[in-house]
Amino acid sequence: MAEANIQSSGGSSCDRSDALDSTGLCLLSLDGGGVRGLSSLFILKGIMDRLNHQRRQHNLSAVKPCEVFDLIGGTSTGGLIAIMLGRLQMDVDECIGAYTKLAASVFAKPLHKSRIGFFGGIKPMFDSATLDRAIQEVMTSQGVSDDALLEDGEERGCRTFVCTIDRATKDMVRLRDYKLPHESSIHTTIRKACLATAAATTFFAPVVINNRTFADGGFGANNPVDEVEGEAGNIWCPETGELKPLVKCFISIGTGNPGKQAFRDGLLKFLTETMVQIATETDNTERKFIARWAKQYDERRYFRFNVEQGLQGISLDEHDKIGTIEAATEGYLKHTSQMLRVRDCVANMHRKQSVYIEDFA
């Protein structure tokens, strides 16, 4: 068990043992952000490319994210990416290609010019059926049947979950590809889970799973770092809640600072304010999390990557701005401060030997 292996090593967290270096938990949190989710993938690619370069120098084979991270959690389009990387076990380059194609297909043609229905309700901008077909194409490309279950009973080293909102209770719900002994499970398919986490209000229609209606988790936790922390605690230390000593590397990746302009073009004022509020919530979540994890941040065990400049003019659905997203992210990663942080992140990760496959029940 991870908890026993790590906690028995002794020593302070500043003087971490080989047990933590080789088997400590690696966690990945992925923000929502529509087409700007590509920015988070380009950041992850920069990290994984450097990690695999270092591994090759030590005569080690290249690894995929699912072979490094013990838990991947995401919200909205970050949830889609989490499932691609974790449940479908794709490498980052495969995921970038699939996500680029998906975004171009889904966001190419809005359903309605007006977002207000005849009786004043808000109509979804885009076709959920198109998104569903795009998800099926990704699954087929990975040799996974389109009716495959999210949690199919198979043990995987990398656990994956996505966030969504129960429309009736307004509660955050985690859809998992694994079981927890003291948590209720929602039996669903990979496709339904993807649709549920991506069903952003005004963008896609809500999704019904087992007579419950779900919508985009980004309206409750666009930055799901707290959800990933809570889920990891439920998995590996449900009795003590002492997660921090078990964590080797915790990476949170954003989709860039959207600015206010990204939501003003063609949207009603109250919708603009809602989307800006999401961006504000994302930043506030990060500040509070760093305050709680200040020691781990200083010890280079927690990292937050988020493009600060260059994405302000790009809205959630501008699939034709992929080149701009890539250029802005590349510029961010080339900044000296970020290069040093990627270096520190990779130095932390490179001795990770394997992810856990044991049942921690």
Residue 114: what pLDDT? 46
Question: Distance between CA 333 and CA 190 in Å, rounded?
Answer: 32
Residue 185: what pLDDT? 86
pLDDT digits (tens, 9 = 90+) for 75-125: 999 999 999 999 999 999 999 999 999 998 888 776 655 455 443 455 667
Residue 21: what pLDDT? 60
Active-site residue, selected from the candidate residues 40, 216, 252, 315: 216
Residue 215: what pLDDT? 82
Residue 351: what pLDDT? 73
Question: Distance between CA 11 and CA 303 in Å, rounded?
Answer: 23
Q: Are 86 and 67 in contact (CB under 8 A)?
A: no
Q: What is the CB neighbour count within 10 angstroms for residue 242?
A: 12
Backbone angles phi, psi at 75, to 5 degrees: -125, 140
**Does the active-site annotation cover 76?**
yes
Question: Distance between CA 77 and CA 102 in Å, rounded?
Answer: 11
Question: Distance between CA 257 and CA 284 in Å, rounded?
Answer: 13
Look up the pTM and report it: 0.86
Retrieve residue 17's tokens. Answer: 């043992």
Residue 278: what pLDDT? 65
Measured in whole angstroms, how far is the alpha carbon of residue 214 from the centre of its chain?
18
Active-site residue, selected from the candidate residues 40, 76, 128, 252: 76
Question: Distance between CA 84 and CA 90 in Å, rounded?
Answer: 6
Q: Which of 343, 307, 299 is nearest to 324 (CA)?
A: 307
pLDDT digits (tens, 9 = 90+) for 95-108: 999 999 999 888 87
Measured in whole angstroms, how far is the alpha carbon of residue 283 from the centre of its chain?
16
**Does the active-site annotation cover 12?**
no
Structural domains in the chain, sorted by start? 2-6+18-107+151-161+216-237+245-349 (3.40.1090.10)
Between strands 172-176 and 71-75, the pairing is unpaired
User: Block means of pLDDT (10 residues each) for the chain, length 361 residues?
Assistant: 36 38 87 91 98 92 94 95 98 97 83 48 74 96 96 93 92 95 91 92 84 77 92 93 92 83 45 58 82 87 92 78 93 96 92 55 38
User: Across the strands, what pairs with 70?
Assistant: none
